[in-house]
Structure 1
């Protein structure tokens, strides 16, 4: 870390990272973002496959694929990879029961 002074006399901090440290920092941030866990203080959330999610909701995986765009707990990892937030899925299930 390097401390410098601006023309106005304010102290600024410059953090120097190695390439490996930067890669690790980026990997952790991307992992949290993909899991919907940008806030590190929240409880860890698992991403479920369509088959696992279907069992929890007592629907078919086909139903989940058809309705994925309208379900708020859907996470699309790529064009072909679809996952579902377990925490979001449980909240959805509980709301539907009430």
Structure 2
């Protein structure tokens, strides 16, 4: 439009002089550095008492072995199915 500055896709023209930009950057960095560092636990301790007799009862684990086994050891039917898919997918 008329009266607007030309478009600057690289944003090379700053709205403030270099000295003001440096002062603003220093202020932002100092403000960030003054904040305390939040500490998050990286581990936890289970303080529950062990069972009075024997070992702890087993905990059910999700079964992902079957899927992994089928992925690495396909059945004969899966091999034939993939062979036919490749065979009929190719152009003749």
Tell me which structure has the larger Cα radius of gyration: 2
Greater share of helix residues, 1 or 2?
A: 1
TM-score (norm 2): 0.24
Greater share of strand residues, 1 or 2?
A: 1
